[in-house]
């Protein structure tokens, strides 16, 4: 396995896949590698879970975008772990994502009778679905929640009223976004064939 000191990346090719650089060397057990990049709060939470499992994890702020409306920094965290812990850290991330999926699935299914959407959006989704969701977008979304491969908290979208988060349900046929507080279906996008 090779390593790029510039990108903190591990890879198996003569060039760094991130920067295209050729200044690569054999990776060492203690080289810190970029594990993932997340929103600040989530990134710190994940780093704490890893440290709690005896994986040294270093975080670094990244992303200097600014939310134009509120002029708040849109801050992310990059997470780094030593190469010797990399594969264990990946496994933890996967387990955390699976636990989160099941937590949201349970929440959405328990509250499925509160799912709703505007008539205008319903019409639009029925049309876009080309028959996939029949006449009931709500029924379709319940199924989507039950079958989704992954459900995650997408954080808040600025300009939104209330304190709900975007719950994103990724299923084979479509991706739905649901407001966690109001249970309003905000969008359904179908995979292109
Ligand atoms: Zn690189």
Q: Where are the domains of the chain?
A: 2-96, 111-190
3 CA to centre of ligand 1 in angstroms = 8
Predicted local confidence at residue 157, as pLDDT: 66
Cα 113 to ligand 1 centre (Å): 49
- Exposure of 117 in the CB half-sphere (CA atoms within 13 A): 24
pLDDT at 118 over 90: yes
pLDDT tier at 66 (50, 70, 90 boundaries)?
low
Q: What is the pLDDT of residue 144?
A: 95
pLDDT of residue 65: 56
**pLDDT per position as a tens digit, 11-51:** 999 999 999 999 999 999 999 999 999 888 889 999 999 99
Q: Write down the pLDDT at residue 38.
A: 87
Looking at residue 80, its pLDDT comes to: 97
Q: From ligand 1's centre to the CA of 18, what distance in Å?
A: 5
Give how far Cα 83 sits from Cα of 56, 59, 105, 116, 165, Å: 11, 15, 33, 46, 34
């Amino acid at each position: 396995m090779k390593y790029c000191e510039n990108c903190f990346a591990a890879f198996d090719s003569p060039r760094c896949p991130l920067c295209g650089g050729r200044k690569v060397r054999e990776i060492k057990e203690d080289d810190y590698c970029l594990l993932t990049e997340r929103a600040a709060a989530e990134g710190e939470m994940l780093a704490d879970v890893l440290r709690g499992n005896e994986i040294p994890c270093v975080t670094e702020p990244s992303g200097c975008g600014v939310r134009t409306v509120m002029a708040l920094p849109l801050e992310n965290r990059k997470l780094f772990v030593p190469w010797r812990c990399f594969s264990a850290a990946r496994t933890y991330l996967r387990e955390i994502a699976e636990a989160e999926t099941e937590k949201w699935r349970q929440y959405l299914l328990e509250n499925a009778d509160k799912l709703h959407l505007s008539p205008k959006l319903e019409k639009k989704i029925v049309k876009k679905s080309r028959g996939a969701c029949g006449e009931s977008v709500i029924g379709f979304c319940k199924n989507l929640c039950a079958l989704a491969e992954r459900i995650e908290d997408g954080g808040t979208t600025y300009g939104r009223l209330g304190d709900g988060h975007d719950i994103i349900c990724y299923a084979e046929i479509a991706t739905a976004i649901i407001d966690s507080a109001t249970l309003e279906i905000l969008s359904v996008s179908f995979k292109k064939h």
